[in-house]
Amino acid sequence: MSDSSSRSGSGPFEEQRRIFDLLSQETRHLVIQYVLGHPEHLASLDELDYMIPKSKAAISDQLDNLIEADILGLYRYEPSEGKRDLPSKFYGFTEHGIEVLDKYNYLRGVPVARALYKNTRKSEKIERHEDAPRPELPDTVSDALSSDSSGTSPLETHVRAVAESEETADELLEITEALAFLTSQGQDDVADVEIGGKEYRLVEKSEGDAEKEPAES
């Protein structure tokens, strides 16, 4: 890297730092996780306000920041405009946003985020918002977020099994926190988590698969 590039703060490390700061800020991180977990990957402001323990104003401010960074886009569904009981504005990922999330390993957590979102109790209003008609995401975005049921990892298999049971919240939260920690670190990092009274180790492997493994005693 040249001296001029270092002084200007435009080098690759500065770009990585900028993206890390953008994705790791608490409210923005929660917004990203809940949009990843939403069944349509298009969430209304009221849905995000219900899920995230922050003020609606704070969430709205961070949505604006994510839109400005081209991580999220504002998607409108015109037929619902003017209807009091249905949302017409939704927040979803852009093509650039998907590229960034893929680069920083966020897309690996989609199955866990979906299971956690699905098993969160929702009010009647939020269920109505979740079922509301929406615009379509760009094909490249929806394809990147669609799950492939074949070749699932042990972690995903465990999460799907947990999602079908009734005692889900604590386990899913533990898995989500561990996976979020792991994917936010560099490669070859390890996160230990206790799930259902057993200790497991999530390992970031060089070939790019986060697997659930028993921790060494």
pLDDT in tens, 40-74: 999 999 999 999 999 999 999 999 999 999 999 99
Our CA angle for 113, 107, 58, nearest 5°, is 60
Q: Pick from 118, 147, 176: which residue ends a domain?
A: 147
The predicted structure's pLDDT at residue 161: 58
**pLDDT of 188 strictly over 80:** no
Residue 57 has which token pair? 């104003």
- 3-state DSSP helix/strand/coil % of the chain, to nearest 5: 55, 15, 35
> Of the candidates 145, 161, 157, which has an alpha carbon nearest to the alpha carbon of residue 108?
145
Between CA 200 and CA 48 the distance in angstroms is 31
Say how many domains are in the chain. 2
The answer on 131 and 156 residing in a single domain is no
Asked whether residue 169 falls in the same domain as residue 63, the answer is no
**CA 149, CA 176: separation in Å to the nearest integer?**
19
* Residue 204 φ/ψ, nearest 5 degrees: -85, 105
34, 113 in Cβ contact below 8 A?
A: yes
1 within a domain of the structure (yes/no): no
Q: Nearest 5°: phi and psi at 213?
A: -130, 150
Q: Residue 214: in which H helix or E strand, if any?
A: strand 210-214
Contact residues for 88 (Cβ-Cβ < 8 A; gap 6+): 76, 77, 78, 79, 80, 81, 82
Do residues 17 and 78 share a domain? yes
Report the distance separating Cα 202 and Cα 179, nearest Å: 7
Full-prediction pTM beyond 0.85? Answer: no
Does 2 fall in a domain? no
Show the tokens assigned to 98: 């998907």
pLDDT of residue 149: 40
Q: Higher-confidence residue: 201 or 115? A: 115
What is the spatial distance between Cα 216 and Cα 189, in angstroms, rounded to a whole number? 15
Q: Of 97, 128, 147, which closes a domain?
A: 147
- Residue with the bigger pLDDT between 165 and 56: it is 56
Kindly report the CATH number assigned to the domain that includes residue 116.
1.10.10.10
pLDDT at 98: 96
| pLDDT of 4 over the 50 cut | no
Q: Does 89 share its domain with 154?
A: no
Residue 6 lies in a domain: no
Which residue is listed with tokens 């015109």?
A: 78
For residue 23, give Cα distances in angstroms to 17, 19, 85: 10, 6, 32
Q: What's the pLDDT at 133?
A: 97
pLDDT digits (tens, 9 = 90+) for 98-151: 999 999 999 988 999 999 999 999 999 999 999 999 999 999 999 999 854 434
Domain boundary among 109, 126, 147: 147
**What domain range is 157 assigned to?**
149-217
Residues 66 and 122 in one domain: yes
Band (208; pLDDT cuts 50, 70, 90)? very low
* pLDDT computed for residue 11 by the predictor: 72
Beta-carbon count within 10 A of 83 CB: 11
Instruction: Return the pLDDT at 87.
Output: 96
User: Residue 13's pLDDT is what?
Assistant: 82
Domain match, 49 and 101 both: yes
Is residue 131 located within the same domain as residue 190? no
Residue 74 confidence (pLDDT)? 98
Structure tokens at 33: 């996780």
Q: Mean pLDDT, the chain, as a whole number?
A: 79
In a shared domain, residues 134 and 76: yes
At 51, which helix (H) or strand (E)?
helix 45-51
pLDDT greater than 60 at residue 213:
no
